[in-house]
Amino acid sequence: MDRILLIGSNNKSKTRELRALLDDSPWDLRRLDDFDPVPEAEETQDTFEGNALLKARYYARRFNVACVADDSGLEVDALNGAPGVYSARYAGENCTYEDNNRKLLAALEGIPEEGRKARFVCLAAFVNEDGGEHVERGSVEGLIAPECRGEHGFGYDPVFIPEGFDQTFGELPPEVKAGVSHRGRAFGKLCTHLASIA
């Protein structure tokens, strides 16, 4: 029988992407919705790796199952790497994705294409029932578009044009994003580890 693997995220869009990325792995995938509600893991660390491990450890211990979690964000060179680990709250506590994108586009107003380099970063963490841990990193380089484009995805997807494409992640189909994204790359590597210990 396949072992249970919990996807430790309250973000529905992210959970959907993670389910698709982990679909081929020999694990019985579960979401947080499949368990009794618990308070959300608080992201208190100032690195992607610290927060990814914190979330995976928290839910693994809480439910006594193996768990994967990611921490991810957008680094913009012209903003010295901001919003970085604070990507979700860039425009303030309880802000929307639209607020964040508006603030980002305003911060880059008037900056030409060559000054709009950015990357998405994802740290994927796995924590076993016995406390064993494994972490993988993935990133994708790109540019910040001059305006929001497309309805797919979530977060900064409408303003991020991945290297090698003219369209934003908001315009590209989800399976194309999965093939080149920071999350796709980090979890691609993590899947190799998960297959080896299943």
- What b/e string do you get for 97-126 counting C-beta neighbours within 10 Å, with b at 16 or more? beebbeebeeebeeeeeeebebbbbbbbbb
Residue (25 or 87) nearer to ligand IMP, CB: 87
- Closest contact distance (angstroms) between CB of 130 and ligand IMP is 26
Q: Are 170 and 158 spatial neighbours (Cβ–Cβ below 8 Å)?
A: yes
- Closest contact distance (angstroms) between CB of 111 and ligand IMP is 20
* Residue whose entry in the numeric block shows the structure tokens 């425009």: 91
Residue (3 or 20) nearer to ligand IMP, CB: 20
Q: How far apart are CA 92 and CA 87, in angstroms?
A: 10
Catalytic residues: 71
Residue (2 or 120) nearer to ligand IMP, CB: 120
Q: How far apart are CA 148 and CA 130, in angstroms?
A: 44
Cα torsion through 148, 74, 86, 190, rounded to 10? 130
Helices (H), the chain: 12-22, 48-63, 97-107, 174-180, 182-197
- Closest contact distance (angstroms) between CB of 110 and ligand IMP is 24
Residue (183 or 185) nearer to ligand IMP, CB: 183
Of 26, 21, 70, 48, the closest CA to residue 180 belongs to 21
- Closest contact distance (angstroms) between CB of 20 and ligand IMP is 12
- Closest contact distance (angstroms) between CB of 177 and ligand IMP is 7
Residues that bind ligand IMP (CB under 6 A): 11, 43, 71-74, 87-88, 100, 120, 153-157, 169, 181, 183
Q: Are 139 and 163 spatial neighbours (Cβ–Cβ below 8 Å)?
A: no
